[in-house]
Every structure is written in C-alpha cells, then in structure tokens.
Structure 1
Amino acid sequence: MTDAASTVAPLFDDPHWPRAGRWPSALRASESVGVGIIGVPTWRTSLSATGAHATPAAIRAALQRYGTFAPGVDWPSVADFGDVTEPDGDGEAEAVAAVRTAASRAGLVIALGGDNALTYSVALGAWSAGEAGDRVGDAGLITIDAHHDLRDGISNGAPVRRLLEAGLDGRRTVQLGIADFANSAFYDGRAREAGITIVPRGDFEERRLDDIVAQALATGGSAGGPIHVDVDVDACDRSVAPACPASVPGGLSAYQLRRTVRLLARDERVTSLDIAEVDATRDAVDGRTVRLCALVVLEAIAGFAER
C-alpha cells in the first residue's frame, strides 16, 4: 500500500502569501509574545480508544495550508512552546508547569490536544501564571462541548468535575452546545446543582452568536478573573468533525464554532484556550477535522489581535 503522505505535493511557496504555522519556537526565557502555542497530547485515560496524541503535530502541519491575512487584523507575534512530553497520569504536573510558563510569557495560550483530559491541566496552569499566583478562586470556564464532562475519576469525561473540586466556582462555568442524547439525567443534575450555566445546542439556531458569547463572558468573568475556553470539537456536526469519536449529526456548523471562538478570544479576560477531542489518525481522507482545528487556532489569534 502506498503511503498517502508521501504522495502529497509540497506546499507552494509564495513570498507575497505568508503561511500560518511558520512561527518561531519560544527558546529564550526573556521573550514575551502575543500568542503562545503549546501541545498537550493527552490520550491515555480516554473513555474510548483514541490516537489523539497525534493531533498537535497534525494541526501544526495543517496550519501551513492557510495564510495569516484577515481584513483589519494586525497579526500579533506568535511562538510555539513545543509539546508536553507525557501529559497524562504523573505527567499532569509537568503539563501544568509548562502551561504556566507559556501563560506567563503570552497574552493568550492556545493548547493543542489531545483528548479532553487536557482541559484540567491547561486551565490550572493558565490560572496560576503571573504575579497574582493561583487564581482558580475567581477564574471562569467556558466550554464549547456536546457533553458536561462531569464524570467521576480521571478521564476525558471528567475535567470539569475535577476543576470544580480544585476550587472553580460552578456559577462562573458556562457550557455551550450541550447536546440532546449525549448526556444523562444524572450529569445534567450534577451540572445544575453546581450552578453551571447550560446553553443547549438549539440556542445556536434561535439566538445570535454575539448574544450567546456576551452571556458566557459575563458569567465566566463575573469575578474579574481569567477565563479558560475549552473547545471540544465534538460539539460540531459529524459531517465536519468525523475525527471526533463522540461527534453526532446535528452538531454545530464549522462556521458557528469558528465564529464563537473568535468572539470569545476578543475578550481580554480570556487568557487560555484548548482544542480537544480530535483523533487525527481517524480523520477523513481530506483531513477536514484537523483543518477545522487549524482554522480555530487562527480565529483565536485573530480574536486576540482584535482586542
């Protein structure tokens, strides 16, 4: 069998069309950047078999298919902090420390997952960066996800519950895109008992995106602390996210995901964002899920630039 990757023609280089993804590594500790990229390839505790640890590299490669031009956007400095070597299990502390370092040097950290287990370490790392120290007490969390992620134990189905147990106030937690038939009454009750604001999938058809985002930011940022955004791509329709094990027909459109991320990233309280639940090894032949992830990265950077 021929290796498909070996048959792909190299990308054409045009000096008048700079490509995304060709940003430098963040090597000097004294450097500060607008946006920092870091790979957190969690996968070992996934509830379903996954190759999500291959996704950060796949997203980086897909980024180079796109440019950095968007009308009216003054592109900020971007640096790549590399990957956390082993972010699962005992390696979570390493992941927290690596994200903390990146967040102390960047205005916005974008973490490339990995399954949804990364949200726990990425949020804690970002919330403990800077002179203020640990800010989990006044932090906010906004998830774009079909699921509540409130399961017991340690897995990709548990990061929100773990953050609540670490001190996150459920009243500053907003879950966007929660889907019918993708959760249970038990976890719905757990979310409501914690005071979590639930914005179901149907609201994205009945309400304006900017209204949804304004509500999420007002709730998540009500204490004035940093906000982490968890972008679980399985909130999207399966036609645009086939590499997400739990994506379903009828999810968010690619545009709805991209636009929501850009609107959220415009807010100065949003200091970190993760992209989760994509298994690059199971993507469609055209790589549509990974390409969507690359565009989510670019939308987040553009939103940051529009602050």
Structure 2
Amino acid sequence: MNGDKDTNLNLSDLSSALPSAFRTALSARDSAGVVEAIKSKVESLAEQHPVMLDNLAPKVRKRVEALRAIQSQYDDLRAKFFEEKAALEAKYQKLYEPLYIKRYEIVNGVVEVEGVTDEGLTKDAAEEKGVPDFWLTAMRTNEVLAEEIQERDAGALKFLKDIKLCRTDNLKGFKLDFFFDVNPYFKNSLLTKTYQMIDDDDEPVLEKAIGTEIEWYPGKCLTQKVLKKKPRKGSKNSKPITRTENCESFFNFFSPPQFPDDDDDEIDEDTAEHLQNQLEQDYDIGTTIRDKIIPHAVSWKDQKKDTLSFKKTG
C-alpha cells in the first residue's frame, strides 16, 4: 500500500507526534500552522504503513487491506456529503434573503405593518418608527452573546441596523456583515467578520478569522479604557498620569485571536492553551450569530425580562 488517499491515519497519532504546545492548539484545529504540521506527519507516518502491514500474517494483511479500501470509499462519500451540504445551505440562503429584506424594512421603519395606526398615541410614540434596539435586544437575550456585551457597548449597538450572512466563494467558510447607522462611536458603516475554512480529513475546519479594523472617533473606543492616576507628592508634573489598557467589549469580536504566522515562532503550552480557548470562544460567538441570531432574531419576544441585563466592566 502507498501513502496516498488509501492511507487513513488517526488524528491522535498525529497529535502525539507534535510538540506539546501544538498538541494543545490541535484540539481546536484552528491554526494553519498546525494543519501544515499534521500534513507533514501524515506523510511521515504513511511511509511507515507498508512496514506495519508486512509485520502482519498474510491472511490478516489481506483483510486489513480490504478494510482500508472500505474506509477509502467512506472517505469519498464523506467528502461528497460536505460538498453537497455546503451547496444546499447556499441554495436556501438565497431563498431566505427576501424574508430577511422584509424583516429589515420593518425593523428600520422603511415600511409599516398593515393595521398599525397612530390613533390614541402621543406625538412621540406616533413618530417612532420600526422596532428600536431590535438587534441589541436579540443579542442580549442569547446566553453566549450576553457574556460578551458590556454595559458600555449598548450605546453603539443601538445603531445596528442589520446582520447578514454571506457564504465565501468556496462555500465552506462564511462572513458576517454588521450594518450600522451613522453614530458617534465609529466611522464604519459596515463591520465584517470572516471565517476561512479548509478541508482537513475531508471535513471543513477553521483556518483563521479576519475582522474589520474599527475606525473609532477620538475618545469613543469601546475596546480600551483610559486610567488616570494622581502624580506622586512632590512631583514636578502636577497633571494626572494617564494610561490606556484593553478592556472587555463585544467589539473585540472584530479583532480575532491569531496564531503566529511564522512557523519558526515557538509558543509555549500555556500560550497555546490560551489561544485555543480564545479561538474556540470566538468561533462559538460567530456560529451563534450565524445559526441563532440571524435566522431567529425575533425569538427574543419570548424571553423573560430578567434576561435583559448587561455585564458590567470596572
């Protein structure tokens, strides 16, 4: 047997052969560098398989070869499954689009729902259009996103007009588009988050995530906070000492964690584990928005009022 398509190796074998720091990162399967390491190990182990087969009794070797042929057929079907699944999702995404457009128009007051009148309303209530804070409310009532949205994020998220899902060209990855009205926080009218996928063992896995750089207006950055400290007594400089540090914010979602681009850059096990956790959390947020928020945004109407709370930052 040769070490090509008919060679089916267990990922646990590959993982054990990698450095410990990369083994930690491997479970997330989110780094292109790790994927390349896996491919190299596949080639190495594949060359050893003929030797392993030679150590078997002739009858057993024949049976194993037959089993590997069956496995190869399964792998082909599995690859076809993911290909057809991606195409089917893309097909229905186009069918959903007219419904999403109607939702956008109602939420943003572009059109009025039949039967809605101004009778008996105050002037302010009559002038109110659409569904205020629709997306902010939808996101806050989801357990995953509620952990990410800080109290100070709410002001900016009130300007969120729509969230759209776009499939990437290869149909495996996806992009999330966040459309914002003109607001006092940042210049961008569109923020995007793209998840690029690659095939690993014929299954799509995350290669990397890319976010939009937010153009914050002066003093409005929500991902950083300014700390002021009084100068020491007797100091010539009487002005407060200020420093800026990163802080928790939903908008960190657009600055996803990245593994080092250079394969020669070594990372220790603790750093790899921290990156893994960040990558898992980031992908969880992205898929939650894709699978829960966009298709079921109005489901917040069934949530209890006590779910509408913010996570405060110090």
Larger Rg: 2
For the aligned pair, the TM-score class normalised by the smaller chain equals under 0.3
TM-score (norm 2): 0.21
More helix by share: 2
TM-score (norm 1): 0.21
